[in-house]
Amino acid sequence: NAGVTQTPKFQVLKTGQSMTLQCAQDMNHEYMSWYRQDPGMGLRLIHYSVGAGITDQGEVPNGYNVSRSTTEDFPLRLLSAAPSQTSVYFCASSLTGTGEGELFFGEGSRLTVL
């Protein structure tokens, strides 16, 4: 049982390049989400999904796209990377999209945009 798996763990991009951060979970969780972690800012919600085919915006969605074609996968796309997107990104999932379920986190993906 792998839990939440994120790839890649490290990535360096040039301004304007595109890339996709992958997230997969094997716990049959309905809810998946992406956060970014910056010093002094805590975790900020980028996008989330309450089930396959359903996505919604979080606190800081600009510059990021997501899709949820399967229950297991929730990729995060950066279409044109900017230095302000340098951060550590975490994918997290929970059993349901409502209420009391706690989040299970991946190990994070460290992105540097030059």
Among 7, 16, 26, 41, binds other proteins (CB under 8 A): 41
The CA distance from 65 to 58, in Å, is: 11
Among 90, 93, 111, 113, binds other proteins (CB under 8 A): 90
Among 19, 27, 43, 95, binds other proteins (CB under 8 A): 43
Among 19, 63, 73, 104, binds other proteins (CB under 8 A): 104
The CA distance from 78 to 45, in Å, is: 15
48 counts as binding other proteins under rule CB under 8 A = yes
Four-point Cα dihedral 13, 16, 22, 23, nearest 10: 100
The CA distance from 108 to 36, in Å, is: 9
The CA distance from 59 to 34, in Å, is: 11
95 counts as binding other proteins under rule CB under 8 A = no
* CA max distance for the chain: 40
Least gap, CB of 27 to other proteins (angstroms):
13
56 counts as binding other proteins under rule CB under 8 A = yes
The answer to whether the beta carbons of residues 86 and 36 sit under 8 Å apart is no
Least gap, CB of 104 to other proteins (angstroms):
8
* Both tokens assigned to 95: 């059993």
Residues that bind other proteins (CB under 8 A): 4, 31, 33, 35, 40-45, 48, 50, 56, 58-59, 90, 92, 97-100, 102-108
